[in-house]
């Protein structure tokens, strides 16, 4: 199969392979059909010869006491253009040999043919380039061998083979054209997939992916590629925004801290101003610390580092958070409907709920409800809500619904990561504000 391997075009390989399979299949069908037809016609010839021999044998068996003496007459009575006979004695000797009506020469009978007559009651043989079929009818005195020409049968088989060959060529041509058309359609889609894959590999996301409503594998694949490219584009956009946001969020406090330290070192501030300046510097370091903690927390959660699960008093944890946020003069309303405990990592569970509260405070100036039902912890705000088109992306890293709000867009990503490591369910409901649920 070296020649097949040397074909460089995948399209040509497939067409060649299918064409060879069709040719082999049709060839097998042609050979098998010819063989079966030949067998059927030969059996028909045996039946025909038997029907011709039967009345002759019956007649001479009734009206003659010595069939050996009637050998020539028996042959004459059955002889026609395509049938003749040979009469053998009971010990295998030749008593009389007939000839066909269109030939004066008797059939040449040699020892090999004689042995066939004596061994097999019916069969075929070839002599002088012509095929014959025979049957042997044994009587009490003689072997009556009826012989028929196979000219007509061979002619029928040759015509059949010719017709089958023409049909095979037609089927092969039609099949190749059909296969070529179908494969072209399939390979066109494969070419599109290759083009899309190469563009994605090269980092080019601005590619045209054909819309496909087909329910076959290619339709599913094109839709998957389209969704993947959209998601990659969105991820790249988010990451670009993240780099800009990180630069901005870190640069602003660092620049402020650096400037204030320079002012302190150069004696710009009076001694009575130093406390307020240092307080502001400390606040900026707190901002940097929060950003760093968020990044580290997300990295740990996504790196599958084992967490420390224990029995958590959820109500106590929520009360702690309420106290912490009351310092910021934000009113957190507790809605406790159960005293059940959870099995969780208290540190990460607190981080998740805290991030939900910070997110709610960021988007709403009104009271925040922090609730617990036993199965779910929820945080509800009465802000403007989240636009429906943003909902699929709110838990992705660095995504922010409102670009004018400060932050890296990591809060909800951390909540999602905490939920995943605990096998908790995370839900969001937008109705009269926004409600986030963490459910066990």
Q: Give the model confidence (pLDDT) of 316-368 as tens digits.
A: 999 999 998 887 777 899 999 999 999 999 999 999 999 999 889 888 888 89
- Measured CA to CA in angstroms, residue 426 lies from 305, 307, 361, 436, 437 at distances of 21, 19, 19, 7, 6
Q: What does the angle CA 319 – CA 384 – CA 404 come to, to the nearest 5 degrees?
A: 95
Distance CA 325, CA 332 (A): 7
In the chain, CATH 1.10.287 covers 217-301
Q: Residue 316 and residue 327: Cα distance in Å, rounded? A: 17
Measured CA distances, 167 to 16, 155, 172 (Å): 20, 18, 8
- Lowest-confidence region among 18-27, 208-217, 285-294, 423-432: 208-217
Cβ-in-10-Å burial (0-12, 13-18, 19+) of 157 comes to middle
Q: Which of 162, 175, 160 is nearest to 17 (CA)?
A: 175
Helix or strand (DSSP H, E) at 305: none
CATH 3.30.565.10 range(s) for the chain read 306-439
**CB-count exposure of residue 112 (10 Å: 0-12, 13-18, 19+):** exposed
| pLDDT range class, residue 371, cuts 50, 70, 90 | very high
pLDDT at 379: 96
Compute how many other C-beta atoms are within 10 angstroms of the C-beta atom of residue 145. 30
What's the whole-model pTM score? 0.45
Phi, then psi, of 424 in degrees rounded to 5: -90, 160
User: Is the Cα dihedral 300, 306, 308, 314 positive or negative?
Assistant: positive
Q: State whether CATH 3.30.565.10 applies to domain 306-439.
A: yes
More confidently predicted of 309 and 209: 309
Buried-state track 260-273, b at ≥16 Cβ within 10 A, e below 16: beeeeeeeeeeeee
Please say whether the beta carbons of 320 and 350 come within 8 A: yes
Q: Where are the beta strands (DSSP E) in 204-354?
A: 310-312, 332-336, 342-344
Which residues belong to CATH 3.30.450 in the chain? 2-159
Is domain 2-159 classified as CATH 3.30.450?
yes
Of 1.10.287, 2.60.460, 3.40.50, 1.10.1060, which CATH number belongs to 217-301? 1.10.287
**What is the SS3 assignment for 306?**
coil
Check residue 84 and give its pLDDT: 94
More confident residue, 409 or 148: 148
Strands (DSSP E) contained in 98-231 are: 122-127, 130-138, 142-149
């Amino acid at each position: 199969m070296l020649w097949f391997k040397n074909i460089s075009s995948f399209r040509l390989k497939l067409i060649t392979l299918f064409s060879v399979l069709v040719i082999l299949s049709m060839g097998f069908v042609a050979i098998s059909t010819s063989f079966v037809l030949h067998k059927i016609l030969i059996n028909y010839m045996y039946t025909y010869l038997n029907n011709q021999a039967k009345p002759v044998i019956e007649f001479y068996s009734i009206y003659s006491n010595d069939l050996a003496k009637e050998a020539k007459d028996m042959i004459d009575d059955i002889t026609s253009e395509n049938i003749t006979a040979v009469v053998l004695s009971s010990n295998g000797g030749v008593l009389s040999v007939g000839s066909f009506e269109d030939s004066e020469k008797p059939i040449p009978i040699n020892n090999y043919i004689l042995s066939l007559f004596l061994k097999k009651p019916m069969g075929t043989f070839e002599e002088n380039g012509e095929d014959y079929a025979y049957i042997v009818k044994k009587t009490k005195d003689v072997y009556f061998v009826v012989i028929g020409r196979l000219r007509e049968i061979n002619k029928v088989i040759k015509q059949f083979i010719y017709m089958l060959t023409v049909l095979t060529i037609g089927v092969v041509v039609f099949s190749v054209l059909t296969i070529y058309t179908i494969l072209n359609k399939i390979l066109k889609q494969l070419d599109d997939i290759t083009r899309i894959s190469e563009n994605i590999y090269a980092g080019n996301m601005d590619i045209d992916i054909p819309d496909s409503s087909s329910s076959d594998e290619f339709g599913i694949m094109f839709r998957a590629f389209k969704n993947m490219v959209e998601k990659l584009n969105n991820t790249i956009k988010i990451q670009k925004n993240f780099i800009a946001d990180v630069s901005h969020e870190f640069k602003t406090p660092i620049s402020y801290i650096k400037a204030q330290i320079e002012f302190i070192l150069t004696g710009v501030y009076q001694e009575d101003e130093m406390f307020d300046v240092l307080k502001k510097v400390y606040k900026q370091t707190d901002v940097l610390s929060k950003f760093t903690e968020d990044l580290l927390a997300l990295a740990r959660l996504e790196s599958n580092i084992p967490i420390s699960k224990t029995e958590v008093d959820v109500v106590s944890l929520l009360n702690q958070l309420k106290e912490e946020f009351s310092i910021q003069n934000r009113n957190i309303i507790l809605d406790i409907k159960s005293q059940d405990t959870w099995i969780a990592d208290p540190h990460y569970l607190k981080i998740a709920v805290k991030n939900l509260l910070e997110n709610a405070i960021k988007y709403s100036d009104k009271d925040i409800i922090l609730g617990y039902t036993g199965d779910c912890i929820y945080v509800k705000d009465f802000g403007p809500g989240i636009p429906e088109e943003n909902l699929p992306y709110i838990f992705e890293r660095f995504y922010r619904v409102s670009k004018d709000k400060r932050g890296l867009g990591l809060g909800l990503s951390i909540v999602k990561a905490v939920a995943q490591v605990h096998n908790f369910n995370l839900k969001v409901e937008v109705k009269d504000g926004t409600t986030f649920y963490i459910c066990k």
